[in-house]
Amino acid sequence: MQLVFATNNLNKLKEVQSLIPEHIKLVSLKDIGCFEDVPETQTTIEGNAIQKADYIKVRYGYDCFADDTGLEVEALNNDPGVYSARYAGEQRDANDNMDKLLLNLKDKTNRSAQFKTVIALHLNGKLETFTGLCKGEITKEKIGDHGFGYDPIFKPNGYSETFAQMDLKLKNEIGHRGKAVQLLIGFLNKL
């Protein structure tokens, strides 16, 4: 089976490739000649995942899946949420995003947060969605140099390390994207 993973984020691609079984061939947007930015204009994480999967299916005709992930911070009314990638502006800079978030939480005692990933799958004319959550808290400073995005300031519940301090295997086992991908794989394995 071949599936297009509708992302230009090479870090996401690497993470997901390490989870997908060998009998599923993962194809990138570059592999299908898609070099444009896939739209993400919906107001929910689920809506963005569906929009991206629809875009590839309609424009390129491939069975595919797309994900969208957001960091939801309780004390900030679940912001940055759907705007996580561009929280500090359209430049989509992870350090700027983390700096803005840490500044906005400066005087807050509640640092509870969760990462949420939704995967939308277009396969055989049907649309399915899979959701993975990882609850944790926002640290007061950036710690670690692995991972990407908000990983240096997110510490999952039950762990003393941020995602940026963990190896990829552990992050995939406990993380939001890994959980959503496991649900996707479980579904694909039943076909």
Contacts of 75 (CB under 8 A, 6+ apart): 105, 108, 110, 111, 112
Torsion sign (Cα): 159, 183, 45, 89: positive
The catalytic residue among 31, 37, 67, 68 is: 68
Domain ranges of the chain: 2-189
pTM here is 0.92
For the stretch 127-175, pLDDT in tens is: 999 999 999 999 999 999 998 999 999 999 999 999 999 998 899 899 9
Residue 68 annotated among the catalytic residues of the structure: yes
Strand duo 154-156 + 126-138: pairing:
antiparallel
State pLDDT tens for residues 77-102: 999 999 999 999 998 899 999 999 99
CATH number of this structure's domain 2-189: 3.90.950.10
